[in-house]
Amino acid sequence: MRIATWNVNSITARLPRLQAWLAAAQPDVLCLQELKCGDEAFPRDELAELGYDVACHGSGRWNGVAVLSRVGIDDVTRGLVDQPAYEDVVEPRAIGATCGGVRVWSVYVPNGREPGHAHYAYKLRWLEALHATVLAEAAAGRPFAVLGDFNIAPTDDDVWDIARFAESTHVTEPERKALAMLRDAGLTDVLPRALKYDRPYTYWDYRQLAFPKNNGMRIDLVYGNDAFAGAVTDAYADREERKGKGASDHAPVVVDLTL
């Protein structure tokens, strides 16, 4: 079984590339983030032509998540347990579904903007809601994973130059503590266990030639329980998909499992 995650940074802008990538990579399940598309405008028909059922959760603003599956899609849940609002809006940043016997959540964690900002406090509250959701889901005992754009680099080695992040989000102790809480809840960051190379970045800014210079970050993560992580046979960040005209600023992350 092949399960992937990808922040597409607008599904409308990225649709031709998404279609080509699905045809080439052949994932059974794909979690998407940053749709920038409302549910009514989601390109269901185009993806159905490739054999994918869709569960989406979007409002057309700077967020939105979805799960695509060609192995069935059931028990769809939109939103986290006690998910907090930001400026009185509960944003569409999380969707769960069961696909081929595997429970997946596609998540787009708030950016946080900068330490001390109200959005940073919101990010930490949102991560608490994610933790509560993980605790509720993990009790089922089936293969389970949370995949998506976490907007957190787990370690200093997951950013190209930690000195550049001294006053920034994504690397602060409270954010990393939230990831540690997911690990305490029984989840494992599966990517480093399977990768065969160092520093597998998943995001490169569009500015200042960040991608050609490999000035990247690993913020697109796959956290799975023992039943999921123990079945992983390979994983990779598809760096090639970050290349060329019209690319997202994130690369897809792909995990292969034997279940």
Binding site listing? 7, 34, 149, 151, 249-250
Catalytic residue among 39, 52, 57, 149: 149
* Spatial distance between the Cα atoms of 221 and 201, rounded to a whole number of angstroms: 10
**Binding region for Mg(2+):** 7, 34, 149, 151, 249-250
119 classed as catalytic:
no
Using alpha carbons, select from 211, 212, 233, 215 the residue that is nearest to residue 224.
233
Give the Cα separation of 179 and 160 in Å (integer).
Answer: 20
C-alpha–C-alpha distance, residues 216 and 197, integer Å: 15
- 20 burial (CB, 10 Å; 0-12 / 13-18 / 19+) is exposed
DSSP of 154-170, one letter per residue?
A: SSGGGBS-GGGGTT-SS
User: Which of 108, 120, 201, 236 is an active site residue?
Assistant: 108
Parallel/antiparallel/unpaired status of strands 253-257 and 232-237: antiparallel
Asked if 170 is an active-site residue, the reply is no
d(CA 215, CA 43): 33
Q: Tell me how many degrees the CA angle 169-13-32 measures, rounded to the nearest 5.
A: 55
Q: Would you name the residues annotated as active-site residues?
A: 108, 149, 250
